[in-house]
């Protein structure tokens, strides 16, 4: 993933998480990952995110992956 896309995804995840009223810890539990990993995803230097992680996130937000990536 290009860095600008990773930053857009980081911003989108953070916005959706806050919109749904989740803390990083709470959302990480809901999606089944470590909250430290979620912190990295939302950081200013986010890692590449696997498709499986995007699927977990979209399921936790009750969205299609396409809506999750609607930035």
Which tens digits make up the pLDDT trace of 30-65? 999 999 999 999 999 999 999 999 999 999 999 999
Question: Do 2 and 59 meet the contact criterion of CB atoms below 8 Å apart?
Answer: no
pLDDT of 3 > 90? The answer is no
The domains of the chain are located at: 3-68
Question: Do 16 and 45 meet the contact criterion of CB atoms below 8 Å apart?
Answer: no
Q: Given this structure, which CATH class describes domain 3-68?
A: mainly alpha
Helix (H) or strand (E) holding 23: none
Q: From residue 39, give the alpha-carbon distance in Å to each of 1, 33, 42, 64, 66.
A: 18, 11, 5, 22, 22
User: How much is the pTM?
Assistant: 0.87
């Amino acid at each position: 993933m290009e860095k600008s896309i990773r930053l857009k995804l980081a911003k989108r995840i953070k916005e959706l998480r806050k919109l749904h009223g989740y803390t990083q810890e709470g959302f990480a539990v809901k999606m089944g990952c470590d909250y430290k990993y979620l912190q990295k995803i939302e950081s200013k230097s986010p890692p590449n995110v696997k498709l499986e992680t995007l699927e977990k996130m979209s399921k936790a937000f009750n969205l299609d992956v396409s809506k999750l990536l609607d930035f």
